[in-house]
Copies of this chain bind each other. A is one copy, B any other.
Amino acid sequence: LQRIAIQPSQLDDDRVLLTPSQVHYLTRVLRLQSGDRFQAIDGSGNLYLVEIENDRGRKIELITTSDPELPVQTRLICALPKGNGFDDVVRACTELGVSEIYPAISDRTLLQPSPNKCMRWRKIAEEAAEQSERTLLPNIHQPQAFLEILGGFEGDRYICGARGEYPHLWDCLERSVEVGKEITIAIGPEGGWTERELDRAIQAGFEPVSLGKRILRAITAPIAVMSLVAAHCEADKTKD
């Protein structure tokens, strides 16, 4: 069944108040007709089976699925790469289960993102959540200066350094993350963090970690990070 993302505000008793673009997508693009069914995720962990009734949706049931969400709230602070590379970061990290993404403008960020970018990233996250069959939509924040983002995080905090003899992120995850915890990981731009940024992050409780011996691009590193966090959560569970 096709799956679309809706806002909780679109739910009204047994109705789903579809937006014009959702109606267009369902009836024109997918060519669904009255009586056909689709699934809707409301971004808060609920998945509904919905039937099309004229140009509206009628809720059939709340489906309980095996929860595809990671048991650890995972926040990524990602320095913006140049070009459209951040699209790939948002898409792949959403598939891999990220909870929140903070796009960061670092000392070495070349790009000053246009105001439309964040809208675009949220749309990409929505599509990726649908495709990967997630029930939660990740929260994509507005881009901010890295040093302003640093404060106020609870739980384990790591900052990836491209060079330097730091412990591997995996070893740190093994040591400290438990189900239900929060984890925040900062990933640098092309060229790495400046010394000032690394120092300030360490002051804010971020522990420097390594992602291995090769230099990863700013696009690849967040995907590698999310792959490890997801595997850490889900491989451990398989063992139970």
Binding site for B on A (CB under 8 A): 66-68, 88, 91-92, 95-97, 131-134, 167-171, 174, 210-217, 219-220, 223-224, 227-228, 230-232, 234-235, 238-239
CA distance A168 to B234 in the complex (A): 7
Q: Which residues of B contact A134 (CB under 8 A)?
A: 214
Minimum Cβ distance to chain B for residue A35 (Å): 26
Complex-state Cα separation, A96 to B212, whole angstroms: 8
CB-defined contacts of A170 to chain B, threshold 8 Å: 231-232, 235
Copies in the complex: 2
Q: Determine whether the beta carbon of B171 is less than 8 Å from that of A213.
A: no
Complex CA–CA separation, A238 to B239 (angstroms) = 23
Contact (Cβ within 8 A) A216 B169:
no
9 extra interchain contacts, Cβ-Cβ under 8 A, other than A169-B231, A211-B231?
A: A92-B223, A95-B220, A132-B214, A133-B215, A134-B214, A168-B231, A170-B231, A171-B235, A210-B234
* A223/B227 in contact, CB under 8 A: yes
